[in-house]
Amino acid sequence: MTVLSQRVPLQAGRAALYCIRPTMADEKHINPLDFADDRRVSYLVEEWKRLTQAEKDAEELVEVDPSMQELAKKEFADIHEQKERLLAEMEHIVGTEGEEREWPNEVVLEVRAGVGGDEASLFAEELARMYLRFAEIRNWKWRALEESASMQGGYKEAQFEIKGENCYRELRFETGVHRVQRVPATEKAGRIHTSTASVAILPIYKRTKIVINPVDLEVETSRSGGAGGQNVNKVETAVRIVHKPTGIDVKCTSERSQAQNREKAMTLLASKLQQAQDEAAARARAAERKAQVGTGDRSEKIRTYNFPQDRVTDHRIKESWSNVPAIMAGRIGEILKALDSAETGE
């Protein structure tokens, strides 16, 4: 068989391939291989790789033997359907991750006694227990991070980690100064005292994966020098990389080849960028906590818990609810829903 006689069926097979292979419009929106390190979808990535290989095998079959068009057409249709299904799952995960960035499923609850001495400390502890009971009602998980008790009981301040679906979305309104009006157990004259405690709801965002754009890099090579044989001194194996947006500079000379040094330098750069990102996030959280905590002054109040009148009033939306004991036992869903409705206008 001549080269020409081999080429004719090959060209015919390629022409047939273009006619019968389905086009996946969604492929351009997402690259499944970007999720290779995500344990939640690693099985989807492996399935995608398997389907891609099956697709290549079918393509080769049609190119070599155009008579297999019908069989390949069915194969392509099956692969296309399966890939579309995988892409839909991937895109759902992407959407979920976007929502998670906006509404993280992990927060740190911080309560701190404000004005009112021992009564403020007792109220701070009661507020903490109210939120933790609400967390249990919502089937969220929580654990104590720090608890600083006062001499007479209650909290000077305390921090708790809460994890669960929509926990930040639901608790975000609780940040601010809470005021209590009641007769303390130690008050012999029966006078009503006013005390405060501050609450901060600090969202914990997932660490985002560092993506390095090659356009942002300035790469230099040079001779390494030192021990390692003649090759090290004659060939430019040393690599220096500068990340232009941040000015972070890394250099690697320890390996015997430029490729190895470049790979090691990129790993080091990614580590430094991650560290810088984590430090920036920590500073942002600290600033947010400082902004949320306030001074604890009575005039900053967002909500008042009036025990003698059995009334809880949220001053931001000017609404009140009765049954203070139930609310302090964690039944705050109705209050949170009203705040959410006021914000969204629903």
Q: What is the pLDDT of residues 260-293, one digit of tens each?
A: 788 878 877 887 887 788 778 777 777 766 665 5
Distance CA 246, CA 270 (A): 12
**Residue matched to tokens 């809470």:** 178
> CB-hemisphere CA count at 13 Å for 259?
0
Identify the burial level of 96 via C-beta atoms within 10 angstroms of its C-beta, where 0-12 means exposed, 13-18 middle and 19 or more buried.
Answer: exposed
Going from the C-alpha of 158 to that of each of 42, 110, 172, 200, 310, the distances in angstroms are 39, 6, 18, 11, 27
Tokens of 158: 């305390």
| Sequence-separated contacts (24+) of 15-22 with Cβ below 8 Å | 16/62, 16/66, 16/69, 17/59, 17/62, 17/63, 17/72, 20/62, 20/69, 20/72, 20/73, 20/76, 21/59, 21/76, 22/76, 22/77, 22/80
Distance CA 187, CA 191 (A): 7
Distance CA 331, CA 143 (A): 20
Name 144's bridge partners. 160
The pLDDT, as a whole number, for residue 259 is: 78
The pLDDT, as a whole number, for residue 1 is: 39
The pLDDT, as a whole number, for residue 156 is: 92
User: What's the distance, Cα to Cα, between the start and end of the chain in Å?
Assistant: 76
pTM: 0.56
135 and 166 in contact (C-beta within 8 Å)?
A: no
Q: Using 70 as the pLDDT threshold, list the residues of the chain that sit under it.
A: 1-43, 91-102, 207-209, 224-236, 254, 288-300, 346
